[in-house]
Amino acid sequence: MANNLVAKTVNLSRFIFRLDRIRIPIWIISLTFFTLIVPTAFKDLYGSEQERDGMAQTMANPAMTAMTGPADLNNYTLGVMTAHQMLLMTAAVVGLMSILLVTRHTRADEEDGRLEIMRSLPIGRLSYLNASLLVVTVTCIGLALIIGCGLYALGIESMDLEGSLLYGTALGATGLFFAGVTAVFAQLSDSSRGTIGYSIAVLLIAYLFRAITDVSNQTLSWISPLAWVTKAEVYDTNNWWPTVLMIAASLALYIVANYLNAIRDLDQGFLPSKPGKKNASRFLQSPISLALRLQRVGIISWAIGMYVLGASYGSVLGDLESFFSDNETIKQLLQTHEGGTLLEQFIPMLMIVISLLATVPPIMAVNKLRGEEKKERVVHLIGRTVSRTKLLGSYFIISIVNGFVMISLAALGLWSAGTAVVEGGLSFEMIFGAAFSYYPAMLVMISLAVLLIGFYPKLTNLIWLYVFYSFIVLYLGGLFQFPDWVGNISPFGYVPQIPVEDFSFTPLFLLSIFAIVFTVIGFVGFNKRDVEI
């Protein structure tokens, strides 16, 4: 009986690997790239022990402990610094990767009717779930090995083989844990949105609980699985037991998910769904209201995250002058300006990061239309009295408002937290002026997404490569001494770097014109093309 329950699992795993043959490598390459580039940059930025000790003093405040976790600041080698500042954040991203991959091949496939077709074939009842978990498990193991060996291959003295393998294993174990969490919620919830929502909620709660207890009571922080990552003390004592604990918890979650999957009916979940209304409210009787309703949870979550991000950056602004003033390498990352304070030179670098992250949710909002199209839901709307212009316009309006809200909340968080720690406070006009200068560049990104939806719907994900490119060339451009034309390929490269540069209306006006042109072309293409799956 047991064999029948998991029949053809390996075959299904190969099928799932083929479906994600592009998605999984992109995740692994991106995570590996960011992991390996940081210690390389740290080696140049903090080559001397004096510079590392200065950074350790900066990281000693409670705000930074809440963000990155505790570390041995008395032995702040390049290895310890890398693990302290990068491991927890990367682990959270790996957790998100697992959540999205598992949801895609469990509840989402079931919701779209694909699993019912699979069940009609000679496969086991538990085969598709276990095939999905097997794919994610192999992905996490591969990620752990690639990152672990890659870190050791850098040849940095304080990053030995054991510590590097533990670094990779901690990331892989985090991926396994949240794969298990998502697999359980895929049985409890009856929708993919619910599965993702509950799983991300666990991820966020784990992070926030760890942040609070790392500052107040580190013993209690053991309750959070993300705290196990920091308690591995990578490149310091190299404690493997927290990682072993996470792997054991992952296995337990896999077993629970299999049990729940075995006793529930197809298309059902254990958590009761609220009965829908018999009649739609007036709010839902328009395309823009429906689109907003579908995205409200994501918008609210991103809004909270952007404010927290801004506040996190603002909380460390008070320590800049005492540390960065003697670090020549980091000054290459800053916009130098004669007579400007180090704080004023640091603000543009923060704004590049904030504005690019604030660009993610509005692009997700407009790309939601492509997701609805692939699920054949758009046909039901445009087959009625809803015009294509009105349909695309609804998602476009939500996107541009979304972008404005995200950059505003991030700026508000930066200003409110920065004012509390910077002597004399921060200028409200300066912070918001610097933030809103990036809004036209964000509009260009949104308009390019509309253009792809209109003419090349199967290539809509290419916009993410453009966002990634913008981050690399603008955030790290000063460090790697990229020529100006490399940065000017991105619309963010034309934004005046307030406050170290004077405000210039012309480039922002031109960016806005380009955004309008790309948007109009995208609308024309969307009205003329066929609906594609």
Residue 443 CA to residue 393 CA, distance in Å, equals 14
Confidence band of 223 (pLDDT split at 50, 70, 90): very high
pLDDT of 1 reads 39
Task: Single out the residue of 348, 519, 357, 308 nearest to residue 437, CA to CA.
Answer: 348
Confidence band of 331 (pLDDT split at 50, 70, 90): low
The 3-class SS string of 446-481 reads HHHHHHHHHHCHHHCCHHHHHHHHHHHHHHCHHHHC
Side-chain-side CA neighbours of residue 80 (13 Å):
18
Task: Single out the residue of 489, 495, 498, 499 nearest to residue 510, CA to CA.
Answer: 495
- Give the pLDDT confidence of 202-217 residue by residue, as tens digits: 998 888 888 888 877 8
Position 504, amino acid: S
In this prediction, residues 343-356 reach a mean pLDDT of 82
Return the percentage of the chain with pLDDT > 70, whole number. 90
Residue 54 CA to residue 190 CA, distance in Å, equals 51
Domain ranges of the chain: 1-267, 281-533
Residue 449 CA to residue 360 CA, distance in Å, equals 11
Residue 99 CA to residue 277 CA, distance in Å, equals 30
For residue 436, what is the enclosing H or E element? helix 428-436
The 3-class SS string of 208-247 reads HHHHHHHHHCCCHHHHCHHHHHHCCCCCCCCCCHHHHHHH
Report the predicted TM-score, pTM, of the whole model to 2 decimal places.
0.79
pLDDT of 444 reads 94
pLDDT of 29 reads 92
pLDDT of 2 reads 42
Any idea which residue has 């991959």 for tokens?
Answer: 101
pLDDT of 395 reads 92
In this prediction, residues 316-323 reach a mean pLDDT of 62
Q: Which of 3-7, 218-222, 354-358, 470-474 is predicted least confidently?
A: 3-7
In this prediction, residues 2-17 reach a mean pLDDT of 81
**Residue 221 to residues 198, 202, 243, 253: CA-CA distances in angstroms?**
21, 15, 15, 20
On the 0-12 / 13-18 / 19+ scale of CB atoms within 10 A, 283 is exposed
Q: Is the pLDDT of residue 518 over 90?
A: yes
pLDDT of 485 reads 76
With vertex at residue 255, the alpha carbon angle to CA 249 and CA 258, rounded to the nearest 5 degrees, is 140
- Give the pLDDT confidence of 411-432 residue by residue, as tens digits: 998 888 888 877 777 888 888 8
Residue 379: partners with Cβ closer than 8 Å, 6 or more residues away: 531
Residue 269: partners with Cβ closer than 8 Å, 6 or more residues away: 187, 188, 189, 190, 191, 194
- Give the pLDDT confidence of 22-55 residue by residue, as tens digits: 889 999 998 998 889 888 878 877 777 777 777 7
Any idea which residue has 């492509």 for tokens?
Answer: 370
Residue 180 CA to residue 400 CA, distance in Å, equals 36
Residue 531 CA to residue 533 CA, distance in Å, equals 7
pLDDT of 258 reads 93
Count of beta carbons in the 10 Å neighbourhood of residue 207? 22
Helix, strand, coil in percent for the chain, rounding step 5: 75, 0, 25
Residue 91 CA to residue 230 CA, distance in Å, equals 10
> CB–CB of 85/34 below 8 Å?
no
pLDDT of 167 reads 96
Residue 409 CA to residue 432 CA, distance in Å, equals 10
Residue 373 CA to residue 208 CA, distance in Å, equals 36
Using CA of residue 152, residue 155, residue 161, residue 167, what is the dihedral sign? negative
pLDDT of 482 reads 65
Confidence band of 334 (pLDDT split at 50, 70, 90): low
Q: pLDDT higher for 324 or 531?
A: 531
- Give the pLDDT confidence of 124-166 residue by residue, as tens digits: 888 889 999 999 999 999 999 999 999 999 988 889 999 999 9
Q: What is the dihedral of CA 38, 42, 45, 49, to 10 degrees?
A: 170
Residue 330: partners with Cβ closer than 8 Å, 6 or more residues away: 45, 324
Residue 201: partners with Cβ closer than 8 Å, 6 or more residues away: none
